[in-house]
Amino acid sequence: MLIAVDNLERLVRDIFRSHGCSEAESGRIALYLVRANLTGHDSHGVIRVPRYVAWLRSGEFVPNQSLAVVSENATMAVLDGQYGFGQSIGPEAVQIGMRKAGESGAAIVALRHSAHLGRIGEWAEMAAEAGLVSVHFVNVAGSQLVAPFGGVDRRLSTAPFAVGFPVRGRDPVILDFATSAVAEGKVLVAARGGKALPEGSLIEPDGQLSADPHTLYGPYGEGDAPDYKRGQGAIRAFGEHKGSGLALMCELLAGALTGSGCAGPGQKRFCNGMLSFYMKPSFFGSEADYAAEAQRYIEFFKSSRPAKPGGEVLLPGEPERRTRAERLKQGVPLSNDAWRAICATAEDAKLEVGRYPVLSDAA
């Protein structure tokens, strides 16, 4: 089905409003989840609503929370999200990093115990909009999903990594990905009847490669909430030994160094840790020179002859911008299964789903 951005945002906002989140926080949750859909990352969009509500009810996510400053100086801050929504804690932490980098040239911000921070590229975009370069290492305590290179047992979270690089006169370069072959949300999308997984994204306990979401979730029926704790298999780390190594660094930097906790061992409370670096380009020299060299290099990079006829070399961030432009015009497509699960959550909150009309019911 297809739904216009404003109706989808209103529906998500009203769901969280009816679960005790403030007007402002409900608005932020809706805004950032829908923005993930707009960039094409449906895995980190509104499909998360039923799970967020379940975690709100179980006390895993704390509504209307603000972050606590554990320690800080001019260029560093250690922040505790106190399990508040990532859509509230994330922008608060980024603002602190941006302010310090704006004043001192660079800043390092260690964020621990944030509830799900969603699409990490969002935070790199926020810094890039303010003219700052940023690098983000993220992990998820309480979420062992990924087998390291050479192993079958889950040891890592999907541990995303993001870099934002603003270039004056053109859109910023935004690299943002999970260090797993696919983000868990993409397995969830596939389990809910959405886009199928690439072959070999998952691994069975006997080492067989798989693209079947049951490898991760075990048995589930139509309408069930797939639960990764029920499956025996794992997602594979991306990029063989190199991706597995980057994932390990995300766990160490975002989990151990920030104090948020690594993916294991043992059962931990679900939260994101994020170690972020912010840099002000003018601190490194002439901003005009840096922008001109970056422009020249980007053109050179993109001018590589396409590997396939009609193909094109894209910059990280370009696919997201194109999808955003398209979906803002045409509406957000959702699988019928994902939509049904959101509607069930809305009805459970005594909302009348008819008040949020869809553009088309077609799958």
Residues that bind ligand NAD (CB under 6 A): 41, 43-44, 116-121, 138, 140, 158, 160, 162, 174-178, 182-183, 186, 272, 314, 316-317, 319-320
Of 138 and 248, the one with the shorter C-beta distance to ligand NAD is 138
Peptide bond into 265 cis (omega under 30): yes
Instruction: Name the β-bridge partners of 39.
Output: none
Find the radius of gyration of the CA atoms of the chain: 20
Q: How far is the CB of 285 from ligand NAD (least distance, A)?
A: 27
Of 134 and 346, the one with the shorter C-beta distance to ligand NAD is 134
Q: How far is the CB of 98 from ligand NAD (least distance, A)?
A: 19
How many helices (H) and strands (E) would you count in the chain? 11, 13
Q: How far is the CB of 137 from ligand NAD (least distance, A)?
A: 11
* Strand runs labelled E in the chain: 2-3, 68-72, 76-80, 106-114, 133-141, 146-147, 160-167, 170-178, 202-203, 209-210, 234-236, 271-279, 332-333
Of 247 and 346, the one with the shorter C-beta distance to ligand NAD is 247
Of 183 and 248, the one with the shorter C-beta distance to ligand NAD is 183
Q: How far is the CB of 139 from ligand NAD (least distance, A)?
A: 8
- Tell me if 335 sits within 8 A of 192, measured CB to CB: yes
Q: How big is the chain, counted in residues?
A: 363
Of 121 and 264, the one with the shorter C-beta distance to ligand NAD is 121
Q: How far is the CB of 355 from ligand NAD (least distance, A)?
A: 30
DSSP of 72-126, one letter per residue?
Answer: E-SSEEEEE-TTB-HHHHHHHHHHHHHHHHHHHSEEEEEEEEES----THHHHHH
- Tell me if 334 sits within 8 A of 1, measured CB to CB: yes
Q: How far is the CB of 4 from ligand NAD (least distance, A)?
A: 23
Of 138 and 338, the one with the shorter C-beta distance to ligand NAD is 138
Chain Cα centroid distance, residue 317: 14
